[in-house]
Amino acid sequence: MNLDSETKAVELPDDHGTELRLWLRLLTCTTLIEGEVRSQLRETFDVTLPRFDLMAQLDKVADGMTLSDLSKRMMVSNGNVTGLVERLVESGHIDRRTSETDRRVQFIRLTKLGRAEFRKMAAEHEKWIADIFADLSPKDIRELMRLLAKAKGSAQRSAKARTA
Amino acid sequence: MNLDSETKAVELPDDHGTELRLWLRLLTCTTLIEGEVRSQLRETFDVTLPRFDLMAQLDKVADGMTLSDLSKRMMVSNGNVTGLVERLVESGHIDRRTSETDRRVQFIRLTKLGRAEFRKMAAEHEKWIADIFADLSPKDIRELMRLLAKAKGSAQRSAKARTA
DNA sequence: GTCGATCATTTTATACTTAAAATAATTTGG
DNA sequence: CCAAATTATTTTAAGTATAAAATGATCGAC
């Protein structure tokens, strides 16, 4: 009996089942963790995940960034950022000022309050994430990082090819 | 010079940076692919991702399932499913009937039209996914599957421990 | 049998999200 | 300089999402 030809007979030329299963597993994993983080943020700090994410982007820089920068970094639409920023200005976590040189541009940055609150949340957040991945060895994590980087590159290539 | 102690000095006892970076990479990867799939579905079939996902769940079974089943499988809230189902009934893709034995329960299933349309979409969808992951070798995919399964288990353990 | 607990679903209120169109400001090629 | 293209942001409309409360139905212990 020829095992190779058997194997080939089972796998049709256009069988993309393994990729699909990979995608579903990736999605399940992310949704699961995202839901967990969302719950923790709400329960512990009464803050939503999108607000936390926006503040996280702003916390990386000292002097603020534009709405476009924010929407690119967060990988969400412009209109989405407009609304989020509005509510965070309202609650006193960020402030906005119009550029001196280009009146289309708005610079957004954390207020003192916003940065202080974010730092507190970020510290807890990091612990939750560490616990969520606690069963993974350092080697597992390294491998996952490597493979996800490869997957990301592949997806970007695919998206680019389609748009081109 | 003692390299080990140097390394330890840099990594504080509570440094959970690698887990955080892993989470951000996982999230980026998923968001990227999800956006790509969303665009393709809209452009090619004028359908949204949540609708596609709901139909995908229903396509797995012959005789339908309840709203609760749906919300659990899709990992979204009950109210969310209510709205999605409403719109898909409206468009003729699914139908609903109340259980004979338990009048609280609604069984949802694909209509003939719904199943036919879903199958067409699913075939294309599978090709898009295959292309998105095309740079990954079969071994990469196996490894990712394994590590994501481990991550999923870890996240579930963590979530369960918190709720308990 | 019936009261209380539980369960399935819907409703409500609010927030988030997108795509696409609109607005407003700047840049650029001729 | 000036029209056309580009860029940054906002607005709009529709849909997606959550949490929490409400509703309606069934189950279980007594």
Interface confidence, given as ipTM, is 0.84
Residue B8 backbone dihedrals phi, psi, to 5 degrees: -65, -35
Mean pLDDT value across residues A109-131: 94
The parent domain of residue A65 ranges over 19-159
Q: Mean pLDDT of all residues in chain A?
A: 89
Q: C-alpha angle B146/A37/A33, rounded to 5°?
A: 15
pLDDT at B15: 78
* Cα(B48)–Cα(B117) distance, integer angstroms: 13
Mean pLDDT value across residues B102-121: 91
3-state SS, one letter per residue, for chain A: CCHHHHHHHHCCCCCCHHHHHHHHHHHHHHHHHHHHHHHHHHHHHCCCHHHHHHHHHHHCCCCCEEHHHHHHHHCCCHHHHHHHHHHHHHCCCEEEEECCCCCCCEEEEECHHHHHHHHHHHHHHHHHHHHHCCCCCHHHHHHHHHHHHHHHHHHHHHHHHHHC
A6 in a structural domain: no
Tally of CB atoms within 10 A around B114: 22
Q: Is A134 at the interface with chain B, CB within 8 A?
A: yes
pLDDT 10s digits, B69-99: 899 999 998 889 999 999 999 888 999 988 8
Q: What is the CA radius of gyration of chain A?
A: 21
Chain B residues with CB-CB distance to A132 below 8 A: 19, 23, 154-155, 158-159
A164 in a structural domain: no
Q: Flag if A75 and B145 touch (Cβ within 8 Å).
A: no
B5 in a structural domain: no
Percent of chain B at pLDDT > 90 equals 62
Domain count, chain A: 1
Highest mean pLDDT out of A63-67, A138-142, B5-9, B79-83: A138-142
Confidence of residue A149 (pLDDT cuts 50, 70, 90): very high
Residue B100 DSSP class: S
Residue B43: both structure tokens together: 């452009």
pLDDT 10s digits, B113-159: 999 999 999 999 999 999 999 999 999 999 999 999 999 999 999 98
- For A58, counting Cβ atoms within 10 Å of its Cβ (0-12 exposed, 13-18 middle, 19+ buried), the class is buried
A131 in a structural domain: yes
B15 in a structural domain: no
Q: Output the domain CATH number for residue A102.
A: 1.10.10.10
The Å distance, CA of A55 to C1' of C15, is 17
pLDDT at A1: 52
Q: Is A61 at the interface with chain B, CB within 8 A?
A: no
Higher pLDDT, B61 or A12: B61
B9 in a structural domain: no
- The B 123-152 residues near strand D by Cβ under 7 Å are none
Chain A residues with CB-CB distance to B52 below 8 A: none
Which among A10, A12, A110 is positioned nearest to A59, based on CA atoms?
Answer: A110
B35 in a structural domain: no
Q: Mean pLDDT of all residues in chain B?
A: 88
* Cα(B92)–Cα(B107) distance, integer angstroms: 15
pLDDT at A160: 83
Mean pLDDT value across residues A61-71: 90
Which of A6-10, A63-67, B70-74, B83-87 is the least confident region?
A6-10
- For strand C, which nucleotides have at least one atom less than 7 Å from a protein CB? 7-13, 15-21, 24-27
